[in-house]
Structure 1
Amino acid sequence: MAKSIDVELLNVQKKFGSNVVVDNFNLQVEKGECVSFLGPSGCGKTTTLNMIAGFLEPDQGDLLIKGKRMNGVPSNKRDLGMVFQTYSLFPHMTVAENVGYGLKLRKVAKAEIAERVGKVLELVKLPHVADRYPKQLSGGQRQRIAIARALVTEPSLLLLDEPLSNLDAKLREELRDELKRLQQEIGVTTIFVTHDQEEALYLSSRIVVLDHGKVEQIGTPWEIYNRPASEFVHTFIGKSNRMQGVVEQVQGDTLVLKTASGFTLQAPSRERRFSIGEPVSIYVRPEKIHLQTADARAESNNEMQGRVKLTSFLGAYTECEVEVGHDVLTFRIETAEQEASLAAGQTVNLNWKSEDVFVFSGQVKEQ
């Protein structure tokens, strides 16, 4: 069955003066997908969203929505809903009037406006606030109303520009859950801009990782986390331990590495080319490192001994820092199993599988 493409960007570029903010952006967003643009401040994610919305025009390339070229088409002709960082609610209007405002502009009959506003307020679980004013709502409620206002016109495309960034941690988590429920329930094609990797991993069917206006990788959350296409993607997504080293041997698809602290490790080349003596950056994620047991050792290709520097209780797990030569490695253990047996100064043996190591050419890059 042929895929239905709702949004397509073809070689899109945007400059501000001589500064290239978005460079050669190519993407297809399928109907019903939730795609996140993820990256640090200044990477071009909001600029790209604003081009899709019609607030900015690309300098080069084409932008299509449902197969129609949108270059030069005003925002109000693009059949989309948008939610911003700020709530942008009219303070002198009630919630119902705010939500129904877009329908009023479209000259929808009053009875239909009332019906559709009622339905969308039910959808965001806030039917009881219809007669209140924005100042009478909490931050989380205001953002839900902003989402309801974007959905009430039944757009074919929903654009979200960091809608959770102004909320406290607990509200962010609650509204993140609500957004996922709404997106799956309605099935509206959604593009979500965020600098928060956890939000992107949680909400998205696919993630576009951006850096300095360029697409570093497009993939599912699993692919982005477990099969990063570049060192930037690996270090930007999740935590990772970093070590410096050199390549000692290349044995087919397996690299033998010597760390700056003198340990020998094995790692897959992942189809990258390395030469003997080449300096490399070596990465392994905390959750891939284990305290050595007989079973773990049998599966492991890499072992190190170090001294516990610090333990931090984080509820379900305890995070431990271990000094290993010149390096400090972080790993996690389930609190219920190991918390009581680890203490600062204790010597521990660590191991992990070679397949869990990522190697990139050059020295460690600071983010």
Structure 2
Amino acid sequence: MKNNMDVELINIQKKFGPNIVVDNFNLQIEQGECVSFLGPSGCGKTTTLNMIAGFLEPDQGDLIIKGKRMNGVPSNKRDLGMVFQTYSLFPHMTIFENVAYGLKLRKVSKEDILKRVSKVLELVKLPNVADRYPKQLSGGQRQRIAIARALVTEPTLLLLDEPLSNLDAKLREELRDEMKRLQQEIGVTTIFVTHDQEEALYLSNRIVVLDHGKVEQIGKPWDIYNRPASEFVHTFIGKSNRMTGIVAQVQKQGLSLKSDAGFSLTAMHRDQVFTEGEQVSIYVRPEKINLCIQEQEAIGTNVVKGVVKLTSFLGAYTECEVEIGHVSVTVRIQSAQQQLSHGQTVFLEWKPEDVFVFPGKGNTR
């Protein structure tokens, strides 16, 4: 194992009865990294986090933290900090007592406790709440205190189990910013469990995408979004338009496709092998489509005529639903660009490199 690796999971497997909920999980996490486990409910992300935390034991494989095998080691011997969905603060204790609790268990001196609690409350930007009780704080403040309590013991590893899920949208955004600042400032190795793709993209150095207990892809946020390893990853991360069709021709420069809606388009090769006549699923993200009012403005490789059916103003951008034959395509444009009306004829264009092609239903790869 490399010296700069804080965590290593080797062929980890976990079963609940006959069901395999985590299957052959392999991962290395470098010191100071923030890695997110991302996937739908039931994909195995929280189960994996609980194995790292010591709340569950893997049925197979090795779990290594700081070069030491942790299989069978109790949770309180793993030098971890953990923040849950619920704040889990003691209501009868002051904020100071809540944050200091882990230090008291470790028999840290009163002088050091005072210094460390004061320091971490400054860090989470709540230096003046030490004498208050949890019920006197807002939801966002309580979650910051939960993070402070996890950080005050200076853990080797910080585990976050959907800590923002119980907050409203504005608070989530604010606390997400704070968490990123804290992680960069402190540099503690962090594992973040979430089903919110935006949080994962925003906070992570790398993302592990899981589905039905299996790792679909591990990569940097940019790669997960722009170079998905599977159709599941592409559809789970971000929004995308799906069309069906066949491969009309396979050429060196790319694929010529014929959509079931009746129009042709081209796509670049992505280390995939397709055969002519093969049924495929075709994806283009809304923000990758250029909408033009005049046909002569559409000068790209893939140009299709359509009719505006619906527009939705969303502040900085507007989403337009454009009908192409019997297919509806969502296009995202800057709101300041142009005003569109129902029934208006428009022209859509997108680049071959922005088209993702996967084997269609019935094809097994």
> Are the equivalent residues in 1 in contact too, given 2:301–2:351 (CA < 8 A)?
yes
- Give distance in 1, aligned partners of 2:275 and 2:14: 38
Cα deviation, residue 364, structure 1: 10
The answer to whether residue 359 in structure 2 is matched with residue 361 in structure 1 is: yes
The answer to whether residue 349 in structure 2 is matched with residue 351 in structure 1 is: yes
> Are the equivalent residues in 2 in contact too, given 1:242–1:364 (CA < 8 A)?
no
- Give distance in 2, aligned partners of 1:60 and 1:332: 46
- 1:225 is matched with 225
| Bigger Cα displacement from structure 2, 247-256 vs 113-122 | 247-256
Q: Deviations over 1:27-71 (max 9, x none)?
A: 000000000000000000000000000000000000000111000
- 1:172 is matched with 172
Cα deviation, residue 127, structure 1: 1.0
Work out the percentage of aligned pairs sharing the same amino acid: 78
> Are the equivalent residues in 1 in contact too, given 2:298–2:347 (CA < 8 A)?
no
Cα distance, 1:253–1:44 mapped onto 2, change above 3 Å: farther
- 2:106 is matched with 106
Q: Deviations over 1:268-290 (max 9, x none)?
A: 23111111111100000001100
> Are the equivalent residues in 2 in contact too, given 1:253–1:271 (CA < 8 A)?
no
- Give distance in 2, aligned partners of 1:45 and 1:296: 46
Aligned-partner SS, 1:182: helix
The 5 A counterparts of 1:320-339 are 320-338=320-338
Amino acid at match of 2:358: F
Cα deviation, residue 291, structure 1: 1.6
- Give distance in 1, aligned partners of 2:248 and 2:348: 22
Q: What is the TM-score of this pair, normalised by structure 1?
A: 0.96
Amino acid at match of 2:280: V
- Give distance in 2, aligned partners of 1:267 and 1:222: 20
- Say how many residue pairs are matched: 361
Aligned-partner SS, 2:337: helix
- 1:215 is matched with 215
Q: What is the TM-score of this pair, normalised by structure 2?
A: 0.97
Aligned-partner SS, 1:337: coil
- Give distance in 1, aligned partners of 2:327 and 2:337: 26
- Give distance in 2, aligned partners of 1:233 and 1:258: 24
Amino acid at match of 2:146: A
> Are the equivalent residues in 2 in contact too, given 1:296–1:351 (CA < 8 A)?
no
Aligned-partner SS, 2:42: coil
- 1:193 is matched with 193
> Are the equivalent residues in 1 in contact too, given 2:295–2:347 (CA < 8 A)?
no
> Are the equivalent residues in 2 in contact too, given 1:253–1:270 (CA < 8 A)?
no
The answer to whether residue 261 in structure 2 is matched with residue 248 in structure 1 is: no
> Are the equivalent residues in 1 in contact too, given 2:43–2:211 (CA < 8 A)?
yes
- 1:311 is matched with 311
Deviating above 6 A after TM superposition, structure 1's stretches of 4 or more consecutive aligned residues are: 293-296
Amino acid at match of 1:60: Q
- Give distance in 2, aligned partners of 1:337 and 1:358: 27
> Are the equivalent residues in 2 in contact too, given 1:207–1:218 (CA < 8 A)?
yes
- Give distance in 1, aligned partners of 2:177 and 2:140: 12
The 5 A counterparts of 1:57-72 are 57-72=57-72
Aligned-partner SS, 1:127: coil
Amino acid at match of 1:322: V
The answer to whether residue 26 in structure 2 is matched with residue 22 in structure 1 is: no
- 2:274 is matched with 274
| Bigger Cα displacement from structure 2, 251-260 vs 231-240 | 251-260
Aligned-partner SS, 1:363: coil
**Structure 2 segments unaligned to the other structure (5+ residues):** none
Amino acid at match of 1:35: V
Amino acid at match of 2:237: I
Amino acid at match of 2:106: R
Aligned-residue Cα RMSD (Å) equals: 1.4
The 5 A counterparts of 1:76-87 are 76-87=76-87
**Structure 1 segments unaligned to the other structure (5+ residues):** none
Amino acid at match of 1:288: K
Amino acid at match of 1:131: D
- Give distance in 2, aligned partners of 1:205 and 1:364: 36
- Give distance in 2, aligned partners of 1:264 and 1:83: 51
